């Protein structure tokens, strides 16, 4: 599972592949903590790989991965 954390115009949002709507945040650290918790929970519950990809200014990096 890949959870995406996007920054657009100083607004952060977390996009989960199983949810239709993103979750918006004003603070990037809080958004990252939320995305990380989702990834960790998915790995704990299923044993399947979960990662968080941070996307900003047209670039991206896989910031954390479980499994």
pLDDT digits (tens, 9 = 90+) for 23-61: 999 999 999 999 999 999 999 999 999 999 999 999 999
pLDDT interval class at 14 (50, 70, 90)? very high
Q: What is the reported pLDDT for 15? A: 97
Give the tokens for residue 39: 């990834």
> pTM score, two decimals?
0.92
* Buried residues in 31-52 as b, exposed as e (16+ CB within 10 A): bbebbbebbeebbeeeeeebbb
Q: What is the reported pLDDT for 10? A: 87
CA 54 from centroid of its chain's CA atoms? 7
| 8 A C-beta contact, residue 33 and residue 5 | no
């Amino acid at each position: 599972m890949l959870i995406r954390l996007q920054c657009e115009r100083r607004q952060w949002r977390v996009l989960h592949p199983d949810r239709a709507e993103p979750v918006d945040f004003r603070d990037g650290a809080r958004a990252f903590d939320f995305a990380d918790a989702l990834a960790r929970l998915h790995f704990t519950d299923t044993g399947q790989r979960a990662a968080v990809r941070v996307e900003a200014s047209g670039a991206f990096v896989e910031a954390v991965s479980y499994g």
